[in-house]
Amino acid sequence: MKRVRAGVLEVAYLEIGPPDGPPAVLLHGFPYDVHACGNAAAQLAADGVRCLVPSLRGYGTTRFLDPATPRSGEQAALGADLLAFLDALGVERAVLAGFDWGGRAACVASALWPERARGLVSCGVGYNIQNIPAAGRPAAPENEHRLWYQYYLHGARGRAGLAENRDAFCRLLWQLWSPTWAFDAETFARTARAFDNPDFVDVVVHSYRHRFGLVPGDPALVEIEARLAAQPTIAVPSIVLLGADDGVAPPSAADTEARHFTGPYRREIVAGVGHNFPQEAPDAFAAAVRALL
């Protein structure tokens, strides 16, 4: 892992592939880490792609530079972190590819700073920008019950539960969200080390409270959140990859998100894949990144 100062963070990241190759930033989600993108990065690097795989805020050995910086997990923070990461490495344009929180960072950057995105690969949820002003509207009951972990983290009991049982909690989510993925104990243990970050609990809890408007965000990010509240469209070439067996965000047959994409756009549902798309289907993930290069 390399390290670079980027915005409010010192970001730990994996770099693989030729330094002069076309860049792609591969982004993990919650509760995962850089290992989710490892196999796909190796494939792309063999094709001459410069793959950059950062640990998000609150994960691995990524650290905040200032103890006073709010440990925010809001979507504006993830997008700002990605922009700062590109700036710190002098990367003018890259394919941005991710899932879950990483997909959200990629969508935010693609929507707000399209000149920095050569293309977007968004997995699990296509248009992964939260509509926080509408977060109080109830969803269908079959969707609400899948979000139990978010509601759990809204209270003190849930925060304590995550702090005390973070490995068991995250392993349960892996099992529920990817019911057909036969990961072994070693695979989970490699990633679980990333949850030992001292800011993990604070960042995770803030993320799942902020998205429902229950807590304020970082004052430094108010302007970005205001732009995201307008639900900006994404104009860069985009590929959406959805796992047919995703246990938390099962894809619908109808594409209800295409209206958010105004550029070249393709949506694909892949059989036998759950929520952790890059790790469960690295070939398909790598192929999508390659197509945008």
Instruction: Give me the residue spans of the domains in the chain.
Output: 2-292
What is the predicted pLDDT for the residue at 81? 98
What is the predicted pLDDT for the residue at 186? 98
Closest residue by Cα to residue 174 from 53, 279, 285 = 279
What is the predicted pLDDT for the residue at 135? 94
Please say whether the beta carbons of 85 and 28 come within 8 A: no
Digit-coded pLDDT (tens) for 268-290: 999 999 999 999 999 999 999 99
Residues 6+ apart with CB under 8 A from 135: 211, 212, 213
State the pTM of this model: 0.97
Determine phi and psi for 71, rounding to 5 degrees: -85, 65
What is the predicted pLDDT for the residue at 198? 98
**Does 2-292 carry CATH code 3.40.50.1820?**
yes
Please say whether the beta carbons of 31 and 55 come within 8 A: no
Q: Could you say which residues of the chain have pLDDT below 50?
A: none
What is the predicted pLDDT for the residue at 255? 97
What is the predicted pLDDT for the residue at 37? 98
Rounded Cα–Cα distance for residues 109 and 103 (Å)? 10
Q: DSSP assignment, residue 25?
A: E
